[in-house]
Structure 1
Amino acid sequence: MEGAGAFIWNPFNFALGCPIQDSEMPFGSLLIYSKEPHAFGPDEVLLFESLAKEIGFGLRAIDRQHKLDDQIHEKGVKAFFY
């Protein structure tokens, strides 16, 4: 974006945002856009909220696995050198 007069064209008329939580703290958002106004009803909102929770669960699981892998690697390195 260059200059103060830059224009951003937005083709979307409706947006829905659902927080992706890590325990208590949100660390991201699932954003869904539509060209149609009021595109999502209550059922779709619940679906996207559920999807955001599942994404949060999956990301936490990946993070835990990385931490476990790091601990295993660290213990393996220490055992090798001691």
Structure 2
Amino acid sequence: MMTIQAELETAKIEGSSGGGAVKATVTGKMRVDSITIDPEVVSEDVDLLQDLITAAINEALDKAKKWLLPEWAPSLVA
């Protein structure tokens, strides 16, 4: 059986923005694991790219929190 720490480190939760143009993956420990950017969104418009990256990371973190609570709440209370 995997320990809570090990599962938190190996869990991968993905968020995206711009219709999937930017994807961010975080771990269950709320650490950014990777960022993938479609080359077509890399242009002169740096502000848009920054907004897409921020949105993707925030979505991934929100999903990680939603995964974490139901997954581990019973273990933390017991």
TM-score, normalising length: structure 2 = 0.44
Structure with the largest fraction of helix: 2
Q: Which has the higher contact order (CA 8 A, sep 6+)?
A: 2
Larger Rg: 1
